[in-house]
Amino acid sequence: MNRVNEFAFKIATANGSGSASANSLIMQAIFRMGVPVTGKNVFPSNIQGLPTWYEIRVSGKGYTARTPQFDLMVALNPATYEKDVKEVQPGGWLLHDSTWPLDERLHRSDITLIGIPLAQMCNDHFSGVRERILMKNIAYAGALSALLGIDADIIRTLLKEKYGRKPALMDSNQKAVDLGFTYAMSNFPCPLPIHLAPLDKTKDAILIDGNTAAALGCVYAGATVGAWYPITPSTSMMEAFKRFCLKYRRDTESGTNRFAILQAEDELSAIGMVIGANWAGARSFTPTSGPGISLMNEFLGLAYYAEIPAVVFDVQRTGPSTGMPTRTQQCDLMMCAYASHGDTKHICLYPSDPREAFEFAVKAFDLAERYQTPVFVLTDLDIGMNDWMVPMLQWDDSYRPDRGKVLTAEQLAEAKAFYRYLDVDGDGIAARSLPGTHPKGAYFARGSGHNKFGGYTEDAEEYTEVVDRIARKVNGARRAVPAPVTQGPGNARLGILTVGGCHAACMEAVDQLAAEGIVVDYMRVRGFPFGEEVTAFLEKHETVFVVEQNRDGQLRSLLTLETGVPVARMESVRYYGGYPMSAHHVIAGIRARLEKVA
Amino acid sequence: MTYIAKPRVHHPALQKNEIGLTRRDYEGTVTTLCAGCGHDSITAAIIHAFWELSIPPHTVAKLSGIGCSSKTPAYFLKEAHGFNSVHGRMPSLVTGANAANGAITYIGVSGDGDSLSIGLGQLCHAIRRNVNVLYVLENNGVYGLTKGQFSASADPGSLSKRGEPNTMEAIDGCLMALTLGATFVARSFSGDKAQLVPLLKAGLKHKGFAFIDVISPCVTFNDHEGSTKSYAYTRENTVEVVQADFIAPAKAITTEYDPGAVREVTMHDGSTVRLRKVADDYDPADRDRAYHYIRKKHAEGEVVTGLLYISTDSKDMQAQNSLGATPLVQLPYEQLCPGSAELAKLQQQFR
Ligand SMILES: Cc1ncc(C[n+]2csc(CCOP(=O)(O)OP(=O)(O)O)c2C)c(N)n1
Ligand code: SF4
Ligand SMILES: [Mg+2]
């Protein structure tokens, strides 16, 4: 088997020891060699001391899903030796720190041990406790560069870019790289059979995490008010928004900002601020995760019923309750679709990677204002926090925000009368007005029963008329949300239907199944409410495997509820242990079912 | 854009303000509260205050939570945008709206249940942020709308309508606001329009969070003997410490006072609030002394009213966030989007 540009390795360290910069150095260097690469940071809910891992998959073929099959393990955390050594594929390699005698837990006869005296070398060449610890990480990056054939010049360039203005740091980093590199070169046959060879497959791509991309989307959409309460894994989104706003939205001369970031006291308040700001006419959003959405429920119902735009990013993490805050899942699909008490239904967008996180962030504001309702963008920890290789983000300068039906002062002045909830155009969307525009624009927004004129009501017909129109309005959005992505011959017996970050694993599975002679049609839904094409896909296939990352098959439940297609037609394939979905999960699920039938 | 409503023809006896509007122009729909409810008197005072200040109604936004008190924004300023939201969460809505458009005059109306129980956290944090809003807490010691349960402002020992005493300590909104760094703290009584109207006017002109606790008896559930929030008890036991007069900018100050007893505070728009000390030993610029004075009087069974504390030199939320004179909602999109060339440039960082 050709293992050039097709392998995976994992680095086991302790949290807070400074391995992150070594890991991203390796990632970036591989990327600059033109070879597709993905990194998954598996980290604890802790600031210092607990185990952390970084998984890097190299795939010349361009597969970006996580693989749990590691050809090489860098085992630097004695606390996890036992677990780590087991994860190496037979015939693989294990890199350890040979400063100390080999720990017996690392013995395994079917793998090759690579001992590098990382601590020893760093103690000899660096002074100060912190520097020695930090440089140990850079030294393993140097060793990996020799072992895996990562271009040393590229590493040098990257260090120069990073530490160009800090020559002392530049020198020590380069020295550490050289130490690891030279030791590996002179003691082991380099490169190993798994190694890199330059390609040109990353030219038009970037490495970016979904939170950064989504934050950038908010900037480009013209969002001005961000409200939030910190929660993993969404926190870095507001940090990125702030960074971009300081770069692009600060008038240094006058010292004024063209944005406001409000750190709320909790998520109830965060969504309240978002609704208040949108009601006043600003594009406003909040990034959060499942526990935050739970708290926001009451307010979301208000925004739905009083018809006020709001954009909510749910970077999903494992539930229920606090769950595993640093592990990924798609477990809020149901909650977001119907958040809040009473009859509600919300527009949801499901990006599959950071590029779509950027695009759907912009789309979310347009939909929220057009339909005057909350819109969710559901990513997850894997999309939000990990670096993904995606095509460069594109921007069309002719874009202008779709503010929906907002009456101007002139329109209000000319109007005979303005009634906030009157469906003048027959599309279920009534025009709104913003505070301060015109005396005729005044109306009383309320979460209590109201009639189409905006007046308080307890009258059965008046109440029903308004809630029925809102249902029509939100259902109408199924034509405006991003259409599903499809692939396959279109007439296969079997289908795979999935959502969000499962995409990469499913695409890989589809290829592998094809190699076994199993042809499937593929659909990835990208928006809710589902369009007619989703129902058609379910009806057309004998069996549709619904692939998702939660215990209860929430996507399948949504499909059943919304399309009316019997649940028996859908076979649930789930993985919900907290790691991103892998192709082998998909294939194992499908195979189990096919064998049962056969 | 500011439009001034065309004055309508009303009863000639109705006096017009500087922008040609009568008090009627500041009214809302007809109240649905119980006859005699304190909240209705506060509504009347609010109408009066806005009218006297000649604020165009459509430049105002009125927000509230849930409760009898929170219904009242419907009863004033029909030409202002209103938002009757969810229970206890009005402060966050005002905060967001204010961040988006600071050119609007915001008034928030709440109850003691809405503010001191379910919404306690939001109120505290809006005070800390110094959001520019006049916040009126219509305080009756009970949850009126859910039929008379004690609220967190009920005094220990105060009797319910059924004669049961309240056993828990009360939260005094004014004391709490003082400890949280509030920049404007006042207390009044719905039955004392002469005191309340100038306080509301000063609060509206205050740039920052103006907190006014207005004792507002609930005639249906908390106006009996043994209640410390009844009309009778409040009339008997309130003592005014500082009287506020509001003087619009450029208005000549004619009345003469004993110089030692008067202090003038200049508001951000140039108007003046003249504070007349009624109690010699009270200083509305001294937060700590104000706090101790209110507590001491409370222990003596007296409810201190008036403008209890004012400071005009703190930054409001807009200033803290370095927001410019143009509200965020009025910024053209071109000033918000960095464009495609910049996106391409930025992405070199991600390679
Ligand atoms: C989440 C929620 N819980 C409970 C209620 C029921 N409720 C409505 S008003 C109210 C109390 C209002 O008391 P207060 O704010 O003092 O207003 P008042 O009626 O006394 O003016 C309660 C508990 C509600 N509307 N929402
Ligand atoms: S129940 Fe009490 S608070 Fe409510 S309207 Fe009646 S008197 Fe006013
Ligand atoms: Mg009350």
Query: Is the pLDDT confidence value at B233 over 50?
Result: yes
**Does A208 contact chain B (CB < 8 Å)?**
yes
CA-nearest residue, atom 16 of ligand 1? B113
Helix, strand or coil, per DSSP, at residue B203? helix
CA-nearest residue, atom 1 of ligand 1? B87
pLDDT (tens digit per residue) in A40-91: 999 988 888 899 999 999 999 999 999 999 999 999 999 999 999 999 999 9
Neighbouring CB atoms inside 10 A of A491's CB total 9
**Does A31 contact chain B (CB < 8 Å)?**
yes
**Does B86 contact chain A (CB < 8 Å)?**
yes
**Does A464 contact chain B (CB < 8 Å)?**
no
pLDDT (tens digit per residue) in A207-220: 999 999 999 999 99
Residue B1 binned pLDDT confidence (cut-offs 50, 70, 90): very low
Distance of alpha carbon A287 from alpha carbon A231, whole angstroms: 9
Residue A1 binned pLDDT confidence (cut-offs 50, 70, 90): very low
Supply the pTM of this predicted model: 0.96
> DSSP secondary-structure letter at B116?
I
Best residue for ligand 1 mutational test, from B143, B223, B229 (most atoms within 8 Å of Cβ): B143
Q: Is A299–B321 a contact, with Cβ atoms under 8 angstroms apart?
A: no
Query: Is the pLDDT confidence value at B306 over 50?
Result: yes
Q: Name every protein residue with a CB atom under 6 angstroms from any ligand 2 atom.
A: B 33-34, 37, 39, 68, 140, 144-145, 218-221
State chain A's mean pLDDT as an integer.
Answer: 96
Q: With residue A325 as reference, give the H or E element that holds it.
A: none
B87 Cα to the center of ligand 1, angstroms: 6
**Does A413 contact chain B (CB < 8 Å)?**
yes
- E strands, A381-535, are 388-391, 444-446, 485-487, 494-499, 520-525, 527-528
Q: With residue A135 as reference, give the H or E element that holds it.
A: helix A129-148
Cβ contact B154:B215 at 8 Å = no
Q: Is B81–A445 a contact, with Cβ atoms under 8 angstroms apart?
A: yes
Domain positions in chain A are 6-187, 208-391, 409-479, 485-597
Residue B278 has a pLDDT of: 80
Q: Please provide the DSSP assignment of A296-322 as one string.
A: HHHHHHHHHHHT--EEEEEEE---STT
Question: What is the residue whose two structure tokens read 């006297």?
Answer: B52
Residue B12 binned pLDDT confidence (cut-offs 50, 70, 90): low
pLDDT (tens digit per residue) in A356-411: 999 999 999 999 999 999 999 999 999 999 999 999 999 999 999 999 999 999 99
Residue B4 has a pLDDT of: 54
For residue B145, which atom of ligand 1 is closest to its CA?
19
B47 Cα to the center of ligand 2, angstroms: 20
pLDDT (tens digit per residue) in A251-290: 999 999 999 999 999 999 999 999 999 999 999 999 999 9
User: CA nearest A269 in B: which residue?
Assistant: B92
B158 Cα to the center of ligand 3, angstroms: 14
Q: Please provide the DSSP assignment of A248-293 as one string.
A: HSEETTTTEES-EEEE-SSHHHHHHHHHHHHHTT--EEEEE-HHHH
B217 Cα to the center of ligand 3, angstroms: 9
Fold of A485-597: Rossmann fold (3.40.50)
User: CA nearest B60 in A: which residue?
Assistant: A436
Q: Give the CATH number of domain A6-187.
A: 3.40.920.10
In short, whether B66's Cβ falls inside 6 Å of ligand 1 is yes
For chain B, domains (ranges, CATH) are 23-320 (3.40.50.970)
Neighbouring CB atoms inside 10 A of A48's CB total 9
List of chain A residues whose C-beta atoms are within 8 Å of the C-beta of residue B101: 280-282, 434-436
Residue A317 binned pLDDT confidence (cut-offs 50, 70, 90): very high
**Fold agreement (A6-187, A208-391):** no
Residue B255 binned pLDDT confidence (cut-offs 50, 70, 90): very low
* CATH of A208-391 given 3.40.50.300, 3.90.1640.10, 3.30.70.100, 3.40.50.970: 3.40.50.970
Partner residue opposite B351 with nearest CB, options A206, A256, A396: A206
In short, whether B144's Cβ falls inside 6 Å of ligand 1 is yes
